[in-house]
């Protein structure tokens, strides 16, 4: 094998490892956040699932689903599309 081919394979492996570790880190952060919130204020099972998925723990005031996510200056529901500006 050529040295340039070996180098490309090493780079691909390193990139794959980096991406895998980064995704695992994001999941760990979500679970830690969910555990912290649970200790501070007991949540319903729906709220726990929402936090684990990366959503806010409040229900949408329009459609009552737990699919709110926070933007820079707003909170938006991915189910119905309503936005609340802060």
pLDDT tens digits, 12-51? 788 788 777 777 777 778 778 777 776 777 778 888 888 8
* Three-state secondary structure readout of the chain: CCHHHHHHHHHHHHHHHHHHHHHHHHHHHHHHHHHHHHHHCCCCHHHHHHHHCCCCCCCCCCCCCCCEEECCCEEEECCCCCEEEC
What average pLDDT score do residues 1-8 get?
71
**Domain boundaries along the sequence of the chain:** 3-85
pLDDT tens by residue, 57-71: 889 999 999 999 988
- In whole angstroms, give the CA distance from residue 50 to residue 65: 9
Is the confidence at residue 52, as pLDDT, over 80?
Answer: yes
pTM of the entire predicted model? 0.50
| pLDDT tops 80 at residue 54 | yes
- How high is the pLDDT of residue 76? 93
């Amino acid at each position: 094998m050529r040295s340039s081919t070996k180098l490309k394979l090493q780079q691909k492996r390193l990139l794959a490892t980096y991406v895998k570790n980064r995704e695992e880190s994001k999941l760990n952060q979500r679970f830690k956040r969910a555990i912290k919130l649970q200790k501070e204020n007991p949540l319903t099972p729906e709220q726990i699932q929402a936090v684990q998925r990366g959503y806010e723990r409040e229900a949408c005031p329009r459609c009552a689903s737990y699919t709110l996510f926070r933007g820079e200056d707003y909170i938006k529901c991915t189910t119905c599309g309503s936005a609340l500006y802060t």
